[in-house]
Structure 1
Amino acid sequence: MSTTATPPRQAATDVPAPTGRRRRVAAWVGIALALLVVGGIGGAVSEANQWAQRGALDPDSAGPAGTRALAEIMRRHGVDVVVARDRGAASQALAAGPATLVMPDTPALSDDAVADLAGGADDVVLIEPRARTLELLLAGSAPAGVAPDADVDPDCDVADAVRAGAVAPGGVFDAGDGVAACYPAGDGFGLLVRSDDGGRAAAVDGRALFTNEHLAENGNAALAVNLMARHPLVVWYLPGPGDTDLADADPSLGELTPPWVSPVIVLLLVAGVAAGIWRGRRFGPLVAERLPVTVRAAETTEGRARLYARAGDPLHAADRLRIGALRRLAALLGLAANAAAPEVADAAAGRTGLDRRAVRGILLDEIPASDAELVALSTRLRDLEDAVRTAVRPERRPR
């Protein structure tokens, strides 16, 4: 094996240290600015599509399940609609004067809290009635399933329902004693109304009638305005997850874990971020490695040839010779690199005018059984390549 000494190379000094440091600092500043821009854009998009973050029956939501259209209709009729997202704000708004309390399901409130909140209102409209709230405000009433998808006439003496006309009620309810029932459908009624001492409590399936996607159907809008706009103020109560007075509420994960768990989690997060920054930093410019020796390509070829000779396998050596010849012939003949061997053989025979069977024998069919036959095949392969090269690129003869 021959070796050639490689002259020592000078250490890479393409980028001075201060310049590289400035570039790293600028890269981190750019990343921080990009995160701020992305966060700002995300906040703007979230604010613009705030209705998507709201729940169903929310007067601030313009989505299909929201009730913003109904709130705007009542405001245009001179009714002040106040959206209260906690019980304290709802009680304070109800104390301002005669008002209607619109209330969806309130699973986080106790029976006493629901009764106290409803007691501060002149009218109460349950737009998502459940068995508990029906029993509290319309004694003896209960859910009775869902009505068929068809329009139903009021068929009652409640003036608000008679003026509104037919609706498709959705959920239906059983009426208790002293409770007026309208819109008979299925096994119950779509509207329950109980009047007492000048006040009134009503129950109706607001999801099927008062949401933005259903409000324009039948007499839905008229029924909603008739039930809710009897007073100049509507307090729309939307209970939040933390708006509860239940003492036996399920404890949170933080309450179940020891006090030291949260600080340890924060410390681990900070350590993980610091480790990521430490291991993710650049280690400086690339440095070329100096090889101890330089190996000529011919030595690799000769070494592989000696291995083939020692193995005594002329067929394998012939396959390697043919693969190289087929690749070079395909390039000379303008064929694709993945052209099949028979295709290359036929193209070579057609271009040189040689017998097609003989060319296929050289490139595909002949099997050398000895070193002498392998040498002869190698010679025929070289001659075939020379013939194709001459046919494709004939040398210019002097005039």
Structure 2
Amino acid sequence: MSAAAPPSAQPEHTDRTSAGSAAASSALRSRLRAWRLWIILSFVLLVGVVLSLLTSQDADRARLSASNAAPEGAQAAVRVLQAQGVNVVEAEDYAEALGLLGEGGAALLLFDPNEYLSGEQLGELGDEAQKSILVEPTFAQLMALAPDISQAGLVPQDVIDAGTVDADCSAPAAEAAGTVSAGGLAYRGPLTCFTVTGSSEPAAGLFAESEDHAAAVLGYTGLLANESIAENGNAALALWSLGSAETLVWYLPVPADIPAGDAPASPFSLLPAWVDPLLAWTLVVAALAAFWRGRRLGPLAMEPMPVVVRAAETAEGRARLYQDSRALDRAADSLRAGTMVRLAARLRLGPGSSAADVVQAAARSTGRPAAEIDSLLDRPRPVSDSDLVAWSQELTYLEEEITEP
């Protein structure tokens, strides 16, 4: 009978385990039912984020990019040109842009606000391009591609507030546009249209062209941007200025186009050759000096803390400091303040007593006139060490009189 007891206990343990598992599963299902709405919403949100990342991974967000459909892109202007038979080719880098222009008969649109290209690279592009159209060019870009066109600063705020600028010239592109949107930068050239400088001479405008018509400048990115290409005559100006050739190379330089030789030099490479050995020798000398001074100081002396210093020693030390610095005024102030404090304590005056109270109490205690004591305590500052010593003795005599019975 005793040997049969253990087998009979095993089914009971198994039943308990099964009951515990069932309870845990039931609790989990209850929690899932309670939170199922939030779980579904989180899953949908996660799927949406993943899809947006996957779909926008290759999306072009560069300003004035030919394939950018955002408000700052230029996809609409490119489609207008393509509808008129212009073959618009977007160059990915400098090598591709130079290769496309080298095929001959192609115009170049360049927008490089960060000035990634060097003067040599700009010159090579200008030599290969049939015509160069620059958008908000910098001084270096003008010197390389359009030397007879110059910058004239920002467009005045009153012109921007007006919203539009009239052509004011007889160029075919300007006459076709009539009016364009105002903004950006102004430029001066042999042919200047859409003037924004009023009656000043020479006039500056949003569109300038070189004398040989080999280079043109658009002073405002809004003339090509998707958000404003349909406004006023912006589309007409873009078509006339960019559609002069059968092929247009649309090139926006990127950081990878920066020439390797133009990378910032290390500051250490600008130092002369003798700096490195001098620096090493300075470090050696400094280490030797630290070792030498450290040995001369000797071992640290242990002293029990706190250190008790007698009051006479601190007073003497402060007096020597005043004497060494010739601080007669500071020493006189210290004497006067110390005397007033000690007199007030000996005359049993309260902490709020004034100097007049101390003078009156001292006069009553010593029998001296109050005016004499006031003159003694409020004497002008001494001008020499002997005057200071004499005054301190008189103050000492006054304190001794008060302490006498």
TM-score, normalized by length of structure 2?
Answer: 0.49
Higher RCO, Cα 8 Å, sep 6+: 1
The structure having more radius of gyration, on CA atoms, is 2
**Higher helix content, 1 or 2:** 2
